[in-house]
Chain A
């Protein structure tokens, strides 16, 4: 029995069988009891870049470069006819000449010819290469997303743990914590939703809660400084710490105080191009170094060195607090 017989048999069953079989995009083979190829459908030739002459009348295990000669598959197939076993979606990954590496799902079923009782084997092959690649890509993305969620939870815990409770009411603690979350969210928004995050956009986003109440905040228009996404996140939190501190103790705690934020890009002959960022408070209460280093100050110093790989100079001058940050620009 070959595929033509199969078509005829199916046609008798009032089914437009040939059309169906020909439109099946998965390769089909009919094999004899000794696993010699009796016939193959067009999809088989197409998928494995082969032809009729190199396929019909040859043992399955000798096709191509012998890719089908897999001991496990052989054992399965040799049981199909004598034991009427079937093989469902046996997965094999193998290299085919002119085709490359493929992941295949092989299924086999015994067929018995109704007229002469001849037993043959119908082998269907599903090329699952693309599907498996997509599944692998999806698993990778899910794993990455899972990783990012856990990282964000860790960051959330870090901020919650390190936001001081000393000398604060629960309400004050909550306000301080939510301020940091808000700054983190604004920074992440700029970092991940802008094609190339820029310093000006980041500063405007993080300072926005302070702009309305204090028109005394002046953010420079330029020059354009592009930030990497990790630079944007860390710098956003640094700016928030300076702003919240100014609102509590510094220039933004009075009606007359001002904050100027500006920056320049400095290239010298040795070393990478650097960004010099200056935060300057004026007209507020006389600045004094805090008696103990709070988390905000530690965060500014640590983050500038650790994440921006730069240097932070914090000074408490009579006129107001001044912070000078110097860090390599992203393109260096």
Chain B
């Protein structure tokens, strides 16, 4: 089977929840994803807001920043696991040796600064689009 490179076709209409606390990065991710036809939910920048929006709506895939205003976003990762919503992690940290890190097993991690192509490929691969 041929694997096609990720592009507008794979991401068109994809509902992506962006969880990111730095406002300039959040708006950048939003515009980057909208450029390839995604519908962006959020962005949200706190653990509470992320958990709340997951109660209200179900995204196809989530881009999750691991550190939200000094708070670990592991509770969000755990909820996504429980809801079986695919997600990728964006992080400026090199290592994840903290409590709850097991909920990130096998999750694709994109280092910051985020390269748009890598982000979009990872998102469409992760949700099987």
Contact = CB atoms under 8 A, between A and B. Distances in A.
Interface in A132-169: 143, 146-147, 150-151, 153-159, 161-162
B33 to A, nearest CB: 13
> Chain B at the A interface: mostly helix, strand, loop or mixed?
mixed
A147 to B, nearest CB: 5
Interface of B: 22-28, 30-32, 43, 45, 67, 69, 92-94, 111-114, 116
A321 B22 CA distance: 28
B45 A306 contact: yes
Contacts of B112: 150-151, 153-154
B23 A306 contact: yes
Nearest to B29: A158
Given A147-B93, A150-B113, A306-B23, 9 more contacts: A154-B112, A155-B25, A156-B113, A157-B28, A162-B27, A234-B23, A299-B27, A302-B30, A303-B27
B45 A147 contact: no
A33 to B, nearest CB: 42
A307 interface: yes
A184 to B, nearest CB: 8
Interface of A: 143, 146-147, 150-151, 153-159, 161-162, 230, 234, 237, 295, 298-299, 302-303, 306-307
Given A146-B92, A307-B45, A154 B23 contact: no
Which 9 residue pairs are nearest across A and B when measured between Cβ atoms?
Answer: A158-B28, A150-B92, A154-B113, A307-B23, A158-B24, A147-B92, A155-B24, A153-B113, A150-B112
Contacts of A146: 92-94
Contacts of B24: 154-155, 158-159, 237
Nearest to B92: A150
A146 B30 CA distance: 25
Given A161-B32, A162-B27, A162-B28, A155 B22 contact: yes
A162 B30 CA distance: 11
21 contacts: A143-B93, A143-B94, A146-B94, A150-B92, A150-B113, A151-B25, A151-B112, A154-B25, A154-B92, A154-B113, A155-B22, A155-B24, A156-B113, A157-B28, A157-B113, A161-B31, A162-B31, A234-B23, A298-B27, A302-B27, A307-B45
Contacts of B28: 154, 157-158, 161-162
A162 B31 CA distance: 8
A91 B42 CA distance: 49
B44 to A, nearest CB: 8
B27 A158 contact: yes
B41 to A, nearest CB: 13
Nearest to B31: A162
Contacts of A162: 27-28, 31
Nearest to A156: B113
